[in-house]
Amino acid sequence: NAGVTQTPKFQVLKTGQSMTLQCAQDMNHEYMSWYRQDPGMGLRLIHYSVGAGITDQGEVPNGYNVSRSTTEDFPLRLLSAAPSQTSVYFCASSTVGRELFFGEGSRLTVL
Amino acid sequence: KQEVTQIPAALSVPEGENLVLNCSFTDSAIYNLQWFRQDPGKGLTSLLLIQSSQREQTSGRLNASLDKSSGRSTLYIAASQPGDSATYLCAVEGIQGAQKLVFGQGTRLTINP
């Protein structure tokens, strides 16, 4: 049982490049979400999904896109990377009313 | 807007002590509150989840309490061990649900042998 799997673990981008952070869960959870963690800011919600085909914005959605075509996968797309998007990104999943399961994180540096 | 605060930001205690970590939130209209543990360079692990209708939850040496009316939660760790050293975060989910959590900035705990 792998839980929540994020790839890649580390990535360096140049300003203006695009990329996709992958997230997959094998627990058949309805809810999936993306957070970013920054020093002094804590974890902040970027986007979330309550089921396949349903996504919505969190607290800091600008510059990011998501889609949820299957229950298992919830990729996060950076359209045109900016230095302000340098952060550690965490994907999480859960079922209704239960605890969140987090991935190990993806460390992104934008130069 | 919900705000979650954890004080202190860092805490260092000798092994064997009982300790309490604090979490406060500004909006009492919550669905639940969770306590997480984060080790350096790792993801978060859920420790305890307290539903809004509950007053406390226990798991092993951990006990979490919730006072919704005062906007406070505490995490009690009994007989602390060096392996308990980590950052502890609390997070609240608003009544709209959908697992939209608002996190505190965490308390970095060090247990000295």
- Mean of the per-residue pLDDT values of chain A: 95
Task: State the DSSP H helix or E strand holding residue A90, giving kind and residue range, or none if neither.
Answer: strand A87-94
Q: What pLDDT score was predicted for residue B35?
A: 98
Distance (Å) from the alpha carbon of B89 to chain A's nearest alpha carbon: 9
Phi and psi at A14, nearest 5°, equal: -95, 150
Q: Which residues partner with A32 through β-bridges?
A: A49, A93
Which tokens belong to B94? Answer: 């608003």
pLDDT reported for residue B100: 86
Inter-chain contact B43–A48, Cβ cutoff 8 Å? no
Check residue A101 and give its pLDDT. Answer: 95
Look up residue A39 and give its DSSP letter: T
Per the CB < 8 Å rule, is A100 touching B32? no
Q: Which pLDDT belongs to residue A42?
A: 86
pLDDT tens for each residue of B21-54: 999 999 999 999 999 999 999 999 999 999 999 9
Cβ of A90 within 8 Å of Cβ of B105? The answer is: no
Predicted pLDDT of residue A40: 82
Judged by a CB distance cut-off of 8 A, whether residue B89 touches chain A is yes
pLDDT attached to residue A1: 62
Express the helix, strand and coil content of chain A in percent, nearest 5 each.
5, 55, 45
Q: B45 at the A interface (CB within 8 A)? A: yes
For residue B37, give both structure tokens.
Answer: 């543990």
- Residue B93's nearest CA partner among A45, A67, A38 is A45
Task: Kindly determine whether residue A94 and residue B42, on different chains, have CB atoms separated by under 8 Å.
Answer: no
B29-55 as b/e: b if 16+ CB within 10 A = ebbbbbbbbbeeeebbebbbbbeeeee
Give B48-105 pLDDT, tens digit per residue.
999 999 999 999 999 999 999 999 999 999 999 999 999 999 999 988 777 789 999 9
Which among A100, A105, A69, A74 is positioned nearest to A87, based on CA atoms? A105
The pLDDT assigned to B95 comes to: 82
Question: Could you say which residues of chain A have pLDDT below 70?
Answer: 1
* Chain B partners within 8 Å of A50 (Cβ): 98
**pLDDT value of position A72:** 97
pLDDT at A33: 96
User: In Å, how far is A78's CA from the nearest CA of chain B?
Assistant: 21
| Predicted confidence (pLDDT) at residue B112 exceeds the cutoff of 70 | yes
